[in-house]
């Protein structure tokens, strides 16, 4: 059996650099894993765009590890070729909050599973976390479906909502490593554009419930200067106001500078945004936000990202109002989009109900695992 060594990859300035082999190889395996898991390319970005994200280190340190045959371990990381890479891991370490936390994503060559690649990568990733003083590690596994309730191999998330198939190798591996499945997220897909009459009905009903005390604003890619501070508040609240089960997560602060940095990083990573917010007219402050992210290289797909209504303004159907309005804006600004992907904690019944009403259909499960030392 081949033995594996794990080395830290160089993050080159560009994919044409001589030192880019390890990152190119890691991207190739991740792309193949995504295709085999989901049966489509909607999550497969160009390697140059992925590199743009990896190089964004201001608020999150990102360490890329690659598994190579032990016979290649004596080569310098910048001399590795893409074909040397048999698996990879990305370790994310927040810089401005959550000093106990490390988040890792691990994948191996789909044609070389059960050969010790995952074990070597997780061992190395956990050593990176430990050296940085991180005592909580989060990881994700991805599943095409959910076992039915009562299935003998069904493993319930500790949140009490959502199930995994304990017989799936990734689930068994995570459990064996001492990780607990804290939360299951429903992965859903919406076919767009929505019928204009259906979308208008959702908008009109939500607007009537919200009343004249709220006003909508929409934009693309760049937040207007006047709203930077308010968007920072909303994104800060997003870090803890959504259901988190028993995940060890603290508030992650955003300010105007970080909002701008995130927009610049998105542009460098080949991504754009469509954003809709709700302003509370009496106070002049933003109290709800939703954004859809879209990869510029893949015009047919988009990703529904953050949606938040401040707790003190819930009960006015603002969630439906901003999401329906943002879908209308998406159709206008990016008419080639045909699919919107989204993820919601299974215990987030209110947001799931909005998504179901809009027409999102279940497509899989994302499981959040946690190990504390």
DSSP, collapsed to helix, strand or coil, labels residue 362 as strand
Copy the structure tokens of residue 249: 């997560």
Q: What is the pLDDT of residue 31?
A: 97
Radius of gyration, alpha carbons of the chain: 21
CATH class of this structure's domain 193-337: alpha beta
CA 308 to chain CA mean position, Å: 16
Q: Please name the fold of domain 4-185.
A: Aminopeptidase (3.40.630)
Q: What is the pLDDT of residue 72?
A: 81
Burial per residue of 272-308, b for 16 or more beta-carbon CB atoms within 10 angstroms, e otherwise: bbbbbbbbbeeeeebbbbbbbbbbeebeebbbbeebb
Q: What is the pLDDT of residue 71?
A: 85
CATH fold match for the domains 4-185 and 193-337: yes
Q: What is the pLDDT of residue 74?
A: 81
Contact yes or no for 271/215 (Cβ under 8 A): no
Helix residue ranges per DSSP H, the chain: 21-38, 47-54, 117-131, 169-176, 196-210, 228-241, 256-268, 318-333, 349-358
Per-residue pLDDT of the chain (373 residues; tens, 9 = 90+): 689 999 999 999 999 999 999 999 999 999 999 999 999 999 999 999 999 999 999 999 999 999 999 988 788 999 999 999 999 999 999 999 999 999 999 999 999 989 999 999 999 999 999 999 999 999 999 999 888 888 999 999 999 899 999 988 899 999 999 999 999 999 999 999 999 999 999 999 999 999 999 999 999 999 999 999 999 999 999 999 999 999 999 999 999 999 999 999 999 999 999 999 999 999 999 999 999 999 999 999 999 999 999 999 999 999 999 999 999 999 999 999 999 999 999 999 999 999 999 999 999 999 999 999 9
Phi, psi of 23 (to 5 degrees): -65, -40
- For the chain, the domains span 4-185, 193-337
């Amino acid at each position: 059996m081949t033995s594996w060594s794990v080395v830290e990859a160089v993050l080159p300035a560009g994919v044409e650099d001589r030192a880019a082999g390890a990152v190119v190889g890691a991207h190739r395996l991740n792309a193949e894993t995504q295709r085999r898991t989901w049966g489509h390319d909607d999550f497969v970005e160009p390697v140059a765009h992925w590199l743009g994200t990896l190089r964004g280190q201001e608020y999150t340190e990102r360490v890329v590890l690659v598994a190579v045959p032990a016979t290649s371990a004596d080569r310098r990381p910048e001399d590795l070729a893409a074909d040397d890479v048999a698996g990879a891991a990305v370790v994310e370490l927040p810089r401005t909050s959550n000093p106990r936390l490390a988040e890792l994503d691990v994948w191996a060559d789909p044609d070389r599973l059960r050969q010790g690649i995952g074990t070597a990568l997780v061992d190395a990733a956990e050593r990176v976390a430990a050296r940085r003083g991180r005592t909580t590690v989060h990881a994700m596994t991805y599943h095409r479906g959910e076992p039915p309730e009562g299935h003998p191999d069904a493993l319930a998330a500790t949140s009490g909502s959502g199930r995994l198939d304990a017989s799936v190798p990734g689930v068994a591996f995570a459990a064996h490593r001492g990780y607990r499945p804290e939360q299951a997220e429903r992965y859903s897909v919406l076919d767009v554009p929505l019928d204009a009459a259906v979308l208008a009905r959702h908008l009109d009903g939500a607007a009537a419930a919200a009343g004249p005390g709220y006003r909508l604003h929409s934009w693309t890619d760049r937040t207007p200067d006047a709203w930077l501070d308010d968007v920072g508040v909303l994104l800060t609240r997003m870090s803890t106001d959504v259901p988190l089960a028993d995940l060890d997560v603290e508030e992650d602060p955003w300010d105007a500078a970080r909002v701008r940095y995130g927009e610049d990083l998105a542009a460098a990573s080949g991504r754009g945004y469509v954003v809709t917010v709700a302003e509370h007219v009496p106070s002049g402050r933003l109290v709800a936000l939703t954004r859809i992210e879209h990869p510029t290289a893949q015009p047919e797909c988009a990703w529904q990202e953050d949606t938040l209504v401040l707790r003190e303004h819930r009960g006015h159907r603002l969630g439906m109002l901003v999401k329906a309005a943002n879908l209308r804006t998406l159709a206008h600004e990016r008419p080639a989009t045909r699919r919107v992907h989204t993820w919601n904690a299974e215990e987030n019944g209110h947001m799931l109900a909005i998504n179901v009403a809009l027409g999102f259909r279940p497509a899989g499960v994302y499981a959040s695992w946690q190990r504390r030392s």
